[in-house]
Amino acid sequence: MTEPKRQTLTERRAEELRMSIALTARDLFVAEGHTAVTVERICEIVGINPRTFHRHFPVKEDVLMPLLRRSERVILQGLEDAPDDADPVEVLTAALTTELNRRQVPEYDHQIMTLIVNTPQYRLRFVEWCEGLSESVTRFLARYYELDEDPFLRELPALLVIQTMRHALIQWVQNGGSDDFADIERWEARGLRLALSGLTRLPK
């Protein structure tokens, strides 16, 4: 993964505030059982005014994006750190569930994922975030498989990987969730092996 540009103090404080707002919104959504919590309520708890909120989040539905971007960094680091002789399906399965397993709060995570999946505006942002992973996943797959030179066909396996991840999470929501994320990992592993079965492995 490319070394990130060093942040200025102002940028770091802005990022910390965005994360604080996102965490507060997430906790309120779970506590209330819905995403209709007002911007004013979120601002009251964080200690900012709505104008400051909207400087960082033009619309309220963007408020969970810092949490998704944090997950993205964890996923991409897991892919970047994988050894060249690793099983790519095992690496992908582990990377896609690393943050969930670190947090070990399945009931809470199930609640917030249920709200995201069942609220169209948040589900759309989740889908867009997932699709934004395609370039990085394609680079990862190119380390292990022969990928087509045609841009459409080259990106397609990564999109299947991402769809598998998304489908596993939605399945987990719809089936009530497990206590240890084992269902997600099992569905992802089986789905990924199927999705990537048509690719040719590069020599180790």
pLDDT digits (tens, 9 = 90+) for 6-26: 778 888 889 999 999 999 999
Say whether 53 sits in a helix, a strand or coil.
helix
pLDDT > 70 fraction of the chain, expressed in percent and rounded: 94
Q: 123, 150, 127, 124: which is closest to 138 by C-alpha?
A: 150
Backbone CA torsion sign across 57, 35, 74, 131: negative
The mean per-residue pLDDT over the stretch 94-113 comes to 80
**This prediction's pTM:** 0.86
The mean per-residue pLDDT over the stretch 153-173 comes to 94
User: pLDDT value at position 155?
Assistant: 97
User: pLDDT value at position 99?
Assistant: 75
Name the residue with higher pLDDT: 61 or 107.
61
DSSP bridge partners of 201: 145
Question: In which element (H, E) is residue 16 found?
Answer: helix 9-32
pLDDT of residue 158 exceeding 80: yes
The mean per-residue pLDDT over the stretch 49-73 comes to 94
Using CA atoms, how far apart are residues 111 and 122, in angstroms rounded to an integer?
14
Whose structure tokens read 């380390």?
143
pLDDT of residue 4 exceeding 70: no
Give the orientation angle of helix 151-174 with respect to helix 182-196, to 10 degrees.
Answer: 150
